[in-house]
Amino acid sequence: MNKSNQNGISFILPAVAWVAALTIFPLAYLVYLSFTDYRAIRPGQGFIGLENYQQLFMDRSIVEALLRTLFFAISSTAITLLLGTITAWIFSYDLPGIRFLRSVFAAPLFTMSVAAATIGRFLLASNFGLFPEIPFLNDPALAGYALIAVDVWQWTPLVFVVVLNALRHIPGAEIDNARLDTKSDLTIFSVVAFPRVRRALLLVALLRLIESLQMFDLPYTLTNGGPLNSTTTLGLAVFKYTFQFFDIGYGSAVAVILLILVAIISFVFFRVMGQRFKTVVANPRTSLKSYLEALRSQ
């Protein structure tokens, strides 16, 4: 081994050690614990194979938490993307006081999830909230929608900031030329603006989806998983089994399932949605006029 190779190894060794200590080892230990019946209140940990996973898929509460997590994640991500993109397009115009309005709209992004949930508890309280006649946090049929609403309020500004930044990089001449061909903002956005922001949207959608799948602090603070477990997500289930019931082995198995779920959805998202985003507009520089003529001819 020559000196240059030794120098290269010496440079990457700290990073490898960091990743191994804080990522690889904890992950491997988590998987190992999922195959044991380890409990914090009982010494020793026996290897039980796949029993935790067999019990997990027969546990109705876990299956419901899994479906609930998917519903929360998909709904919250879709609404966040839609509202964030619409508001970014509206706020991209240079209007009087628009900078101040942009700052106000982006403020929830800098709010911690615990603080956002606390604000939501006050606003949605059944006795002194904005809608005292509607028991958002006490009705199992409404609590899930309250959770989604608070999450959307907090994270829509993230999509807003990302999309607005992408829109501001579009040359103004392209927008002006497009307005000579059509007065429809929807057409201008779909043909001129969307091809420029679709990659940013894809990235922020993936980040929001992963964040929503791991949702813990928001339901824990807002409803503590209730009422009647109607807002218990997989992340919150991991916490309850591990730190409230002290069933470390079973909680680790739930965490592994959550990890696999995130990995699968991330892979599918990149493979499927990435191709769809690429085929929305084959050539971003296609003139708006030719596009409109093609629509008329159909």
Compute the average pLDDT of residues 190-211. 84
Listed residue (66, 292, 40, 42) closest to 181, CA to CA: 292
Q: Which residue has the higher pLDDT, 81 or 13?
A: 81
List b or e across 53-82, with b for residues whose CB sees 16 or more CB atoms inside 10 angstroms.
beebeebeebeebbebbbebbebbbebbbe
Listed residue (257, 256, 252) closest to 242, CA to CA: 252
Predicted confidence (pLDDT) at residue 125 exceeds the cutoff of 80: yes
**Confidence band of 132 (pLDDT split at 50, 70, 90):** confident
Compute the average pLDDT of residues 186-211. 83
| Its pTM surpasses 0.85 | no
Compute the average pLDDT of residues 27-51. 84
Whether the CA torsion 30, 34, 35, 40 is positive or negative: it is positive
pLDDT for residue 264: 87
Q: Left, alpha or beta for 46 (phi > 0: left; psi -120 to 50: alpha)?
A: beta
Q: What is the distance in angstroms between the CA of the first residue and the CA of the last residue of the chain? A: 67
The domain made up of 61-297 is a member of CATH 1.10.3720.10: yes
pLDDT per residue over 201-236, tens digit each? 888 888 898 889 988 989 999 999 888 889 999 999
Compute the average pLDDT of residues 33-61. 85
pLDDT for residue 44: 64
Compute the average pLDDT of residues 254-273. 84
> Which of 140-149, 180-189, 269-278 has the highest average model confidence (pLDDT)?
140-149
Cβ(277)–Cβ(198) below 8 Å? yes
Cβ(51)–Cβ(252) below 8 Å? no
pLDDT for residue 198: 83
Compute the average pLDDT of residues 186-213. 83
Predicted confidence (pLDDT) at residue 31 exceeds the cutoff of 80: yes
**Confidence band of 254 (pLDDT split at 50, 70, 90):** very high
Predicted confidence (pLDDT) at residue 80 exceeds the cutoff of 80: yes
Compute the average pLDDT of residues 113-134. 85
Predicted confidence (pLDDT) at residue 279 exceeds the cutoff of 60: no
Cβ(201)–Cβ(214) below 8 Å? no
Q: What contacts 78, CB < 8 A, 6 or more positions away?
A: none
Both tokens assigned to 229: 């477990």
Q: What is the Cα–Cα distance from 234 to 7, expressed in whole angstroms?
A: 45
Predicted confidence (pLDDT) at residue 261 exceeds the cutoff of 80: yes
pLDDT for residue 238: 92
Per DSSP, 192 falls in state I
pLDDT for residue 135: 85
Cβ(177)–Cβ(140) below 8 Å? no
For the chain, the average pLDDT equals: 81
Q: Which residue has the higher pLDDT, 170 or 148?
A: 148
- Reduce the DSSP state of residue 224 to 3 states and report it: coil
Which residues, in sequence order, are bridge partners of residue 36? 47
Cβ(191)–Cβ(170) below 8 Å? no
**Confidence band of 287 (pLDDT split at 50, 70, 90):** very low
List b or e across 19-38, with b for residues whose CB sees 16 or more CB atoms inside 10 angstroms.
eeeeeeeeeeebeebbbbbb
pLDDT for residue 268: 81
Q: What is the Cα–Cα distance from 206 to 12, expressed in whole angstroms?
A: 29
State the Cα angle at 20 between 14 and 26, rounded to 5°. 145
pLDDT for residue 295: 40
pLDDT for residue 152: 94
Predicted confidence (pLDDT) at residue 25 exceeds the cutoff of 50: yes
Classify burial at 202, counting beta carbons within 10 Å of its beta carbon; exposed 0-12, middle 13-18, buried 19 or more. Answer: middle
Backbone angles phi, psi at 280, to 5 degrees: -60, -50
Q: What is the Cα–Cα distance from 228 to 215, expressed in whole angstroms?
A: 18
- Reduce the DSSP state of residue 86 to 3 states and report it: helix
pLDDT for residue 190: 76
pLDDT for residue 145: 93
